[in-house]
Amino acid sequence: MTDTTRVGLVVVSHSDMLANGVAELAAQMAPDVTVQPVGGTEEGGLGTDYGAVVEALADADSGAGVVVLYDLGSAKMTAEMAVESADDPSRYAVVDAPLVEGAVAAAVAAQGGASLADVAATAEGASSETPAATPNRPALHLVQGAVSAEVQLTNEVGLHARPAALLARTVAELDADVTVRYGTEEANAASVLALMGLSAPGGKSITVVATGKDAEEAVRRIEELAERGFDD
Amino acid sequence: MGCTAADVVAAVRAAAAVVQEHRDELVRLDQAIGDADHGENMKRGFTAVVSRLDAEPPDTPAKVLKLVATTLISTVGGAAGPLYGTAFLRASSALGDAAELDSALVARALQAALDGVIARGKAAVGDKTMVDALTPAVTAAASADGSVAATLSAAADAAAEGASSTVPMVARKGRASYLGERSAGHMDPGARSTALLLRALADTAAKA
């Protein structure tokens, strides 16, 4: 899937270790997304290095733009200055998001080919709270043309981070709206955080409901994924 | 007498010396309510400024301030880098290509610096930041009339008072804001460094 240009990410932290750790976590969810960590001062201390942020922005941009996440206030200011100094500041979005959840959510959205604006919005919508499922929505399988299936989570850990990311990615490529239900909770399958928020453990079943042109394909692919144990 | 690029270079060198001299004090202030790096960061930044001035002294006041801005942005590391960097950059733009500064230009540059700091840091008066020193300085400079030295002196006096006014404040911006009520009782290090810088500029202008 390397033929598609994806939005890149830059993680700006006061700490080199923190930036690298967040980037590692986000990259695991999104193998084809460039996640560029930049942390610490030039001498290796805590702080932010303006020049290094400028370079990271350029390195992360493969043509679709870059979403920039930061840890503390002065990292935000450094990121904003770097963006303002760029030839085309509109290619970069500094987002106000929880660093870890935001980076993970943004990486998955970018992997799915989302636009700069959508990746930025996904990061900003990522909350450190358990992601909102929508328990009171009318049951989607009553919607006309919806395709649904019971899917057993055969892997040991259920819908934890990596399987959730895999599921979200699978769906992102298709023209379908997919909802995953576990117990009384529902989650939009496009949101890896919402999927994780279902806390669906291994051995249990989830209900997958899809609408749209590729609804059948979406359900089929998720069934396949589950049968393969999410490649765990 | 006007204020040339050479005078501005002299003032910046004096500011660098003052930052060096007060490094430990700024560290102590920042230790109380922040991450204890302001003194060292400012010293590192202004040391780099001086070595760049030594290498190639710019030929207009605006270019001097721009050199200060770009150097601070890339060498300071903490919040002071982007904040002072923006302040000096905006001040530089406000000066245009003037070869000599008068008091009106100085007042305009200070106003531009304040606008830049507010745009960058989103702080207001009362948040316990450098804005609390710079805002009264701008007001004082705008109503001062006469020489550059008198304008800067009025600004420096007002900044010192503004810095003192941060002591009882509870921080609402920056790292100190995490301390909540416990940030009260300490002067804000950024407000203090702003007052120190303006005093150094004023003292140099008075000697010119």
Q: Report the distance separating Cα B206 and Cα B208, nearest Å.
A: 6
Q: Does B173 touch chain A (CB under 8 A)?
A: yes
* Interchain CB contact of A45 with B (< 8 Å): yes
* pLDDT tens string A134-156: 444 445 545 667 899 999 998 88
Tell whether the model's pLDDT for residue A80 goes beyond 50: yes
Q: What is the predicted ipTM?
A: 0.80
Q: Which run of H or of E encompasses A210?
A: strand A205-211
Q: What part of A 63-102 touches B (C-beta under 8 Å)?
A: 72-74, 77-78, 80-81
* Contact predicate A82/A93, CB 8 Å: no
What value does the CA radius of gyration of chain B take, rounded to a whole number of Å?
16
If you average pLDDT over every residue of chain A, what do you get?
88
**pLDDT tens track, chain B, 208 positions:** 579 999 999 999 999 999 999 999 999 999 999 989 999 999 999 999 999 999 999 999 999 999 999 999 989 988 899 999 999 999 999 999 999 999 999 999 999 999 999 999 999 999 999 999 999 999 999 999 789 999 999 999 999 999 999 999 999 998 899 999 999 999 999 999 999 999 999 999 998 7
Exposed (0-12), middle (13-18) or buried (19+): which is B82, by Cβ within 10 Å? buried
pLDDT given at position A131: 46
Tell whether B86 lies on the interface with A, counting CB pairs under 8 A. Answer: yes
Superfamily of domain A140-231: HPr-like (3.30.1340.10)
Under a CB-based contact definition with an 8 Å cutoff, are residues B82 and B73 in contact?
yes
Which of B40, B43, B75 would you mutate first to test chain A, the one with the most A CBs within 10 A? B75
B120 touches A at CB < 8 Å: yes
Chain A residues closer than 8 Å to B85 by CB: 50, 81
User: Would you list the domain boundaries of chain A?
Assistant: 8-125, 140-231
| Chain B residue nearest residue A44, CA to CA | B77
The CATH number that applies at residue B59 is 1.25.40.340
Contact check, Cβ <8 Å, A48/B77: yes
Amino acid at A110: A
Query: Is the Cβ of B175 closer than 8 Å to some Cβ of chain A?
Result: yes
B83 touches chain A (CB under 8 A): yes
DSSP assigned state of B10:
H
Two tokens, residue A148: 């649904």
Structure tokens at B177: 């804001």
Please name the residue ranges forming H helices in chain A. Answer: 16-29, 50-60, 73-84, 99-111, 116-125, 161-172, 192-197, 215-227
* CB atoms inside a 10 Å sphere around CB B61: 29
Report the CATH number of the A8-125 domain.
3.40.50.510
Mind telling me the catalytic residues of A?
14
Sign of the Cα torsion B178, B179, B184, B185 reads: negative
pTM above 0.80? no
> Does B81 contact A50 at a Cβ distance shorter than 8 Å?
yes
Q: Do A77 and B175 touch (CB under 8 A)?
A: no
How distant is the Cα of A48 from the closest Cα of chain B, in angstroms?
5
Number of domains in chain B: 1
A chain contacts of residue B78, beta-carbon cutoff 8 Å: 47-48, 74
